[in-house]
Structure 1
Amino acid sequence: MNERQEKAIDRLFREGPGGFTGGLSAEKHLAITGTSRPTATCDLHDLVEKGALRRFGECRYTRYRLNLGRGAVMT
Structure 2
Amino acid sequence: MESDAEYDHVSAIQRIEKLLWGDKKLGLRGLQCRVNWCERLITINTVLVIVLLLINIADLQLSNGGGLIELLLKGLLGG
TM-score, structure 1 as length reference:
0.28
- Larger Rg computed on CA atoms: 2
Q: Which has the higher strand share?
A: 1
- Relative contact order (alpha carbons < 8 A, sep ≥ 6): 1 or 2 greater? 1
TM-score, structure 2 as length reference:
0.27
Q: Which has the higher helix share?
A: 2
